[in-house]
Amino acid sequence: MPYLDIEKQRKAQREYYERNKLICQERTKKWRENNPKRDKEHKATYIKNDPERRKEQTRISVAKFRKKNLEHCRKQNRQYKRDNPDIIQSAKAIRRIKKWGSYKLLSKEEKAMCRSFYTEAKEKNKHSKIKYVVDHIIPISKGGKHNPQNLQVVPELWNMQKGSNLWGAYKGE
């Protein structure tokens, strides 16, 4: 008998499913095996009509995978950090700036330009005995922003001597 109230109908369906969970799962499994094309169409429609729910389910399944494969995920994370130190340094800088409360959303172009400073420092470190780092010309602690106009690649020793002082742009090379 169809329900006039959709919520009552959904509640009745949930209760039926809970009472007959194994039977329902077996029936669904058989239907999917017998109708792979329709199942694929159904999934595509589901994703198209409810992307938020799909994102949430993906987030949950990823969390379950990580929980089951913790050591594998840690290994992958360590490898990613070794392969992409410039990206990691850029992300750390953004977190520091958010902490200081002087973060401003950057456009994709500005993010790419900021990341290019970290890539440049990484490349200089490969070809030089001196270690290079990315410096904020106006330090974050003094109200400086994390944007391409306030970044420069400098030797680590110079940056450590500068600290949070306002020395301006690096003139050496």
**DSSP annotation of 164:** T
pLDDT of residue 72: 95
Render each residue's pLDDT in the chain as its tens digit; 173 residues.
Answer: 567 788 888 899 999 999 999 999 999 999 999 999 998 998 888 878 888 888 888 899 999 999 999 999 999 999 999 998 888 888 888 888 888 777 778 888 988 898 899 899 989 988 888 899 999 888 888 888 888 898 999 999 888 888 888 777 777 65
pLDDT of residue 50: 83
**DSSP annotation of 148:** G
pLDDT of residue 1: 55
Q: Which residues pair with 153 in a beta bridge?
A: 134
Q: Report the C-alpha dihedral over residues 114, 117, 118, 122, rounded to 10 degrees.
A: 160
Query: Residue ranges per domain, the chain?
Result: 84-162
pLDDT of residue 172: 67
